[in-house]
Amino acid sequence: MNTDDNINHHILVWQKETKDHFVTDISKCKNQRTVFNQIVDDYELIFVHSLKLSFIPTLLRRRDRVYLFQHGMTFGSGFRRLYKRSIYFLVVNIIRFKIICSSDFAKKKLKSQILILNDRLIKIIPFGVNLKHNTSVSQTSQTLNIGFAGRLVGQKRIHKIYEAFQLLECHPVINFRIAGTGPLLKDLKETSLTFIDKQITSVFEGHVKDMSSFFLNIDVLILPSIGESYGLVVLEAFSNNIPVIVFSDTGACVDFIIPNKNGFIVNSIFELSQRICELNAADLRAQLKMNIKNMNLTRYHLSNTKSLLDEL
């Protein structure tokens, strides 16, 4: 069996006394099995993003220190879904690996996918962001700059934004910036061409390393996803004073939104189109940005996540 296929995953390890932590991509190591064994032996906590069968024998040695990230527990469909559910049922209920969920929503989502006999095996630790709240507010322009950031996949429902553009009852000049890559890229580019006559220009930026520069060039972020376990991109937007629009079924990050203060929660594509028209008013955009500038984002900081990890 090819070890390159077995341990090609990110693993976060944590040492409480020194608060030393790092993320390692074992696939880049020459002797993956040796490195993996050493990590399991040396560190107090081992967090696994995506579990494979080949991990289990080594992790069994320190089963009391192993945590699985809920957002990495993808199940797929068909036979693959049944197979992965069986594996996770085994490692959680029999081997008793624990699970970290980023929110109550993520916990409910997990329990709807797999039977977990002992609720105490699930720990809720909100993911923090290394927030550097930008105290400056960017100037608004006559062009409405809308942003989307995320994988270009079906779950993100980016097509809803284009459908909302189709329903606009106003005539704004829109610059739609899209940060991310994925299998829907080609289709989205084709769709974007149909809106050029409506003064709606799409800019596909691909993978963006410096998100602060991305947020500097938008007035509002729209996140139309369904079932987001957390939604870090919303917090990143707030740290750059950018308001956010989400759908009511977007997931955990709906709780981040204070309607008419730091963004909007919409229930339909038509309602999204209405909000876009409202945001065509530069004074509303400026007010929302000022509201966010005055928000206290301390509870979302990465340091809070670190404190919770130390308590495990």
Note the pLDDT tens digit of each residue in 84-127.
Answer: 888 899 999 999 999 999 999 999 999 988 999 999 999 999 88
Query: At residue 44, does pLDDT exceed 60?
Result: yes
Mean pLDDT of the 12-33 span: 56
pLDDT 10s digits, 178-209 = 999 999 999 999 999 999 888 999 999 999 98
Which of the two residues, 229 and 265, has the higher pLDDT score?
A: 265
- Tokens standing for residue 235: 């917090």
Mean pLDDT of all residues in the chain? 85
Picking from 145, 131, 116, the residue whose alpha carbon sits closest to that of residue 234 is 131
| In the block, residue with structure tokens 């079932």 | 227
pLDDT tops 60 at residue 19: no
Q: Beta 244-247 vs 263-266: how paired, if at all?
A: parallel
**Most confident among 40-49, 122-131, 234-243 (mean pLDDT):** 234-243
CB 88 within 8 A of CB 48: no
pLDDT of amino acid 45: 82
pLDDT of residue 217: 93
Phi, psi of 122 (to 5 degrees): -105, 125
Q: 48 is written with which tokens?
A: 């696994």
